[in-house]
C-alpha cells in the first residue's frame, strides 16, 4: 500500500478556491476547521471545492462494493447553495411525492391565506430599508411605502428614492413603471389580491405593499419573467426582516399565478359605478361625481384617461433651440421613445427613466411640461418687456415659458407660499439661464398695496382638486373629498379677489386649474366677474390651437382627459377695463 502523502497547499491544494486535486491519490486526515458541513469543527472533503475521498471521483470503495449511494453530506459549493436556496424559496406547485397539485374552481376560491393570523403570529418589525440593496424592485417598494403608507406624493417620493439608489437606466425605467402603475391601478390590483387573502386590511402594511407591486408586474408587465417576480418578492421580504412572512408572500403569489385567470371581475350589469371603480381604479365617490357632471359615456372616457403608455411631455428651451434642432437632439437619445405631441413644440418621451439626470436637461436645453400647462402660459400672450406675475408658480414651468417667450426681457415675478418650492423655481430658472425671473416667498392671499395696478398680466394657476391630471398624479384621486373641494373653492376666490388688484387698466388676467369640476372652473369665473364688473372675458390668442378655441364656453376653455387627448385643464382669459 502506498504511503499516504499530505496534500500540498500550493497550486491546487486544499482550501484554495477553485483548486482541483489530482485523481487517484487519497488524502490525509482532514484538518480541524471552524466551519463546513459534517461534524462541528471538521471540514468535509466531500464537496466540489476540495475533491472527493477515494481513488476515483464519484464513488468510494465502500459504496461500490455495497452498491449504496454516495455519502449524503451536503454539497456546499456556490452553485449547489444557489440551487438549494431557490428550492427553499419557491413552491413549485407539487406535493412531497412530486405530484402536481391541482385545484378546481371551487377549491381555488376557498384557498385564501389568512393575512391577519400570519401578521399577528410573526409580529415582525420592519428595519430601516436600504434602497441601495435589492435593485429596481427594492427601490419601488421603498417609494410605494412612502406613497401608500406615509401619504407622500408619487413624483416627489419616487424622485427622493431615485436620488439615493444606484440603478442602471434600465432598472430606473422598471422602478418608475412599477411605482406609477401600482398607484394608478391600485383598486384593480387590490381586487385581484383579495381573492387570495383573508382580511387583507390586517396584513402588515409593508408586506401588503410588496404584494401589490408584485401583482402589478404579473398583471401589467409582460416582459418581466413571472419567476423573477416571485423570487425577488421573497428575497426582498427576507432581506428586510420578514422571514416569518416569506411563506405567505410565496404562497399568495404562487396562487396568483395559477388562479388569477378565474377571478370573477365585476360586470357592467352589476352596477356601473362599482364596475368603473374597479376596472379603472377610481374611487367610487369620484366616479359618481363625474357621471353627475358629464353623463355616463363622457364620464367613462374621462376616467379612462388618454394614455396607453407612460410618458412625459418635453419642450425645448425657446432661448436655445428651435423645434427642428430640438427634435434632432431627441432622436439621438439612446433608449428614449419619442413622438410628437398634439401641441406643436412639444414631444412625448418614454423609456427615459429619471429624466432629471439627463445631461441635456441639466444643461437647461429643455423642460418637462405638460401640454395643457403650456397652453395656460400661452393664454397670457406675453410680449417682450412686460411685467408679469405668476401667483402660484412652483415648480416654475409656466414661469419659465413666459420668461423664454419674453426673451429674457421684462420681469416675471414667481410667487409661492412655501420656501422650498420657491427654491425649486430659482433652481429651474438658473438651469435654463433665465435672468428675468424673480422667485419670491409670498402669500398671494395677502394684498401688497405697493403693487396695485403695476402688472401687465397676472396668471393664477390656482390650487385645485387635480381631477384633470390623475394620469400624472395618480395619488390625487385617493385624497379627494367634497370637504377639501369646498376649502379649495374658497381659497381660489380669495386668490382671484386679491391678485386682480395688481393688474393695470387694460391688462390681462389668466385663471387656470388642472381640474374638471365646474365649481372650481367656470362657476368660479362667473362668480368672480359678478364681484368684479371691471373685468370681462376675452378670447384666447391664436397660439392656442383652433380646435380648442372653438370649444371655449362662456367662462373659459375646459380641456378633458381622454376626450381632448391632453391633460385635463381649465383656462379663462379676462381683461381689465382700460
Burial 187-203 (b: 16+ CB within 10 A, else e): bbbbbbbebbbeebebb
Q: Residue 85: CB partners within 8 Å, gap ≥ 6? A: none
- Check if the beta carbon of residue 212 is closer than 8 Å to that of residue 189: yes
Which listed residue (346, 499, 500, 514) is catalytic? Answer: 514
Whole-number Å distance between alpha carbons of 561 and 303: 8
The DSSP-derived string for 444-458 is TTS--GGGTT-EEEE
What cell numbers appear for 424 in the block?
425649486
- 395 preceded by a cis bond (ω within 30 of 0): yes
- Check if the beta carbon of residue 427 is closer than 8 Å to that of residue 361: no
From the list 449, 435, 455, 436, the residue with the least C-alpha distance to 391 is: 455
Q: Residue 269: CB partners within 8 Å, gap ≥ 6? A: none
- Find the helix packing angle between 186-193 and 246-259, rounded to 10°: 100
Whole-number Å distance between alpha carbons of 341 and 323: 12
What cell numbers appear for 157 in the block?
417620493
- Check if the beta carbon of residue 145 is closer than 8 Å to that of residue 209: yes
Active site (annotated) includes residue 514: yes
Long-range contacts: 323-330, Cβ < 8 Å, 24+? 326/365, 326/366, 329/360, 329/365, 329/366
CA 281 to chain centre: 15
Catalytic residues: 514
Amino acid at each position: 500500500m502506498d504511503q499516504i502523502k499530505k496534500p500540498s497547499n500550493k497550486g491546487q491544494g486544499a482550501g484554495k478556491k477553485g483548486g482541483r486535486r489530482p485523481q487517484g491519490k487519497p488524502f490525509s486526515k482532514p484538518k480541524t476547521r471552524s466551519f463546513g458541513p459534517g461534524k462541528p469543527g471538521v471540514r468535509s472533503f466531500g464537496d466540489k471545492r476540495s475533491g472527493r475521498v477515494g481513488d476515483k471521483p464519484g464513488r468510494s470503495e465502500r459504496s461500490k462494493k455495497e452498491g449504496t449511494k454516495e455519502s449524503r453530506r451536503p454539497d456546499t459549493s456556490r452553485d449547489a447553495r444557489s440551487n438549494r436556496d431557490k428550492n427553499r424559496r419557491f413552491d413549485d406547485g407539487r406535493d412531497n411525492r412530486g405530484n402536481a397539485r391541482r385545484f378546481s374552481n371551487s377549491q381555488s376560491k376557498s384557498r385564501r391565506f389568512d393575512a391577519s393570523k400570519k401578521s399577528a403570529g410573526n409580529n415582525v418589525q420592519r428595519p430601516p430599508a436600504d434602497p441601495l440593496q435589492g435593485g429596481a424592485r427594492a427601490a419601488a417598494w421603498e417609494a410605494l411605502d412612502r406613497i401608500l403608507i406615509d401619504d407622500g406624493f408619487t413624483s416627489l417620493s419616487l424622485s427622493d428614492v431615485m436620488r439615493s439608489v444606484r440603478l442602471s437606466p434600465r432598472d430606473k425605467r422598471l422602478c418608475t413603471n412599477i411605482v406609477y402603475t401600482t398607484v394608478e391601478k391600485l383598486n384593480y390590483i387590490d381586487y385581484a389580491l383579495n381573492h387570495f387573502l383573508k382580511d387583507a386590511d390586517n396584513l402588515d402594511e409593508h408586506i401588503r405593499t410588496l404584494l401589490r407591486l408584485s401583482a402589478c408586474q404579473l398583471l401589467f408587465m409582460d416582459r418581466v419573467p413571472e419567476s423573477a417576480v416571485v423570487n425577488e418578492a421573497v428575497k426582498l421580504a427576507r432581506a428586510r426582516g420578514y422571514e416569518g412572512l416569506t411563506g405567505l408572500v410565496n404562497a399568495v403569489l404562487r396562487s396568483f399565478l395559477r388562479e388569477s385567470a378565474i377571478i370573477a371581475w365585476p360586470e357592467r350589469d352589476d352596477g356601473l359605478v362599482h364596475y368603473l371603480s374597479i376596472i379603472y381604479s377610481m374611487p367610487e365617490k369620484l366616479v359618481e361625481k363625474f357621471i353627475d357632471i358629464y353623463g355616463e359615456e363622457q364620464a367613462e372616457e374621462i376616467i379612462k384617461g388618454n394614455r396607453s403608455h407612460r410618458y412625459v411631455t418635453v419642450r425645448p428651451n425657446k432661448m436655445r433651440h428651435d423645434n427642428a434642432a430640438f427634435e434632432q437632439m431627441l432622436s439621438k437619445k439612446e433608449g428614449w421613445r419619442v413622438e410628437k405631441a398634439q401641441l406643436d413644440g412639444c414631444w412625448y418621451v418614454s423609456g427615459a427613466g429619471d429624466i432629471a439626470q439627463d445631461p441635456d436637461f441639466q444643461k437647461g436645453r429643455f423642460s418637462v411640461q405638460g401640454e395643457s400647462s403650456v397652453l395656460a402660459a400661452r393664454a397670457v400672450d406675453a410680449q417682450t418687456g412686460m411685467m408679469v406675475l405668476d401667483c402660484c408658480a412652483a415648480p416654475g414651468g409656466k414661469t419659465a415659458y413666459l420668461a423664454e417667450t419674453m426673451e429674457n426681457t421684462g420681469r416675471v415675478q414667481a410667487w409661492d407660499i412655501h420656501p422650498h418650492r420657491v427654491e425649486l423655481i430659482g433652481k429651474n430658472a438658473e438651469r435654463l439661464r433665465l435672468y428675468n425671473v424673480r422667485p419670491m416667498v409670498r402669500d398671494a392671499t395677502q394684498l401688497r398695496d405697493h403693487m396695485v395696478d403695476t402688472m401687465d398680466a397676472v396668471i393664477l394657476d390656482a390650487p385645485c382638486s387635480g381631477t384633470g391630471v390623475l394620469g400624472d398624479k395618480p395619488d390625487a384621486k385617493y385624497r379627494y373629498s367634497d370637504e377639501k373641494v369646498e376649502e379649495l373653492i374658497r381659497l381660489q376666490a380669495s386668490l382671484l379677489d386679491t391678485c386682480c388688484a395688481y393688474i393695470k387698466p387694460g391688462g390681462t388676467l389668466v385663471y387656470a386649474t388642472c381640474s374638471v369640476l365646474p365649481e372650481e372652473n367656470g362657476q368660479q369665473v362667473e362668480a368672480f366677474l359678478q364681484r368684479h364688473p371691471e373685468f370681462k372675458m376675452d378670447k384666447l390668442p391664436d397660439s392656442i390651437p383652433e380646435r380648442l378655441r372653438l370649444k371655449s364656453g362662456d367662462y373659459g376653455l375646459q380641456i378633458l382627459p381622454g376626450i381632448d387627448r391632453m391633460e385635463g385643464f381649465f383656462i379663462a382669459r379676462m381683461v381689465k377695463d382700460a
